[in-house]
A = this chain, B = another copy of it.
Amino acid sequence: MKNNKIAIIGSGNVATHLFKAFQGNLDVSLINPHHPEDVSDDTDIVIISVSDDAISEVSSKLSDFNGIVAHTSGSQPIDIIKGHDSGKTGVFYPLQTFSKDIALNYSKIPFFIEGGSKNTSKLLFSVAKLLSPEVSYADSELRKKLHIASVFSCNFVNHLWALAESLLKVDDIPLSVLTPLIEETLRKISISSPLDTQTGPARRGDEEILKSHIEYLKKEHPEMTNVYKVITESILSTYHKNNERNKL
């Protein structure tokens, strides 16, 4: 697969990072998404790495191209790629958030591959293996689960950190006072399931503390009350299923 010629279409963070990661490994070029016609005829694989709603359009502009066409989106089906033999379409999905100017350690990024045929799957798999040891197959259904799981564990988590920051802002306390606690929470789930490392008033079923927190939020941060209540209810029902308890 080292002899394959790859073109990455895109100008965003994912495209740029993939381009840099492939450099040195194989013959790769980075193509402006406004000029898909720049893809040379002898290219084996085109990876379209543009925003979800532009994939279809970019792919349809490659109608003269006869090689493999894959996209990098976790939330789009394989058949969003239009105008190509379905056996030569695929998905090449790196499960990571890419920031500009931040070098990433690709050996830790999991890639999820789908191909419209066995040959395409195998080829995209081998190409991903050049970048990372963590490569798996995943169809649309599994990618959706991975996407939802990453929404819970990253997007939602980041928002909870934003809420914590806003709770401390009035007293000029920076969110960084919580960093050691957050790092320790993350360290723990690297050795145990988070189901077993859960702590806090909801885990203990400490209704007095829970009520006092909700009272405080209702008064000072009413916009956070519902988030507090719903996650607390979720923890309570995970760990105190069979115990009698009052509704918050």
Interface of A toward B, CB cutoff 8 Å: 52, 75, 95-97, 99, 104-105, 108-110, 134, 136, 142, 144-168, 170-171, 173, 175-186, 188-190, 193-195, 197-203, 206, 209, 212-213, 216-217, 223-224, 226-228, 230-231, 233-235, 237-238
The answer on a CB contact under 8 Å between B158 and A175 is: no
Residue of B nearest to A154 (CB): B185
Which of these, B108, B145, B189, B199, contacts A175 with CB under 8 Å?
B189
Expressed in whole angstroms, the minimum distance between the Cβ of A86 and any Cβ of chain B is 22
Which of these, B149, B163, B202, B235, contacts A168 with CB under 8 Å?
B149
The answer on a CB contact under 8 Å between B183 and A186 is: yes
Residue of B nearest to A233 (CB): B226
> Given that A145-B167, A193-B162, A197-B158 are contacting pairs, would A153 and B180 also be in contact in the complex, using a CB cutoff of 8 Å?
no
Q: For chain A, what secondary structure do more than half of its interface residues adopt (helix, strand, loop), or is it mixed?
A: helix
The answer on a CB contact under 8 Å between A146 and B177 is: yes
Residue of B nearest to A213 (CB): B148
Residue of B nearest to A217 (CB): B148
Cα distance A237–B221 in the bound complex, in angstroms: 14
7 other A-B residue contacts (CB within 8 Å) besides A152-B167, A231-B231: A99-B184, A105-B180, A110-B180, A146-B173, A153-B181, A155-B200, A162-B193
Q: Which residues of B have CB within 8 Å of A142?
A: 171, 173
Cα distance A233–B224 in the bound complex, in angstroms: 11
Most chain B Cβ neighbours within 10 Å, of A136, A167, A176:
A167
Q: Which residues of B have CB within 8 Å of A181?
A: 95-97, 150, 153-154
- A-B CB proximity, top 7 nearest: A155-B200, A153-B164, A162-B194, A149-B164, A161-B194, A230-B230, A152-B164
Residue of B nearest to A184 (CB): B97
Residue of B nearest to A196 (CB): B162
22 A-B pairs in the complex with CB atoms less than 8 angstroms apart: A52-B206, A95-B180, A96-B180, A97-B184, A110-B177, A136-B173, A145-B168, A146-B173, A146-B177, A147-B209, A148-B167, A152-B167, A153-B160, A153-B161, A153-B175, A158-B189, A159-B202, A160-B160, A162-B194, A182-B186, A186-B186, A224-B234
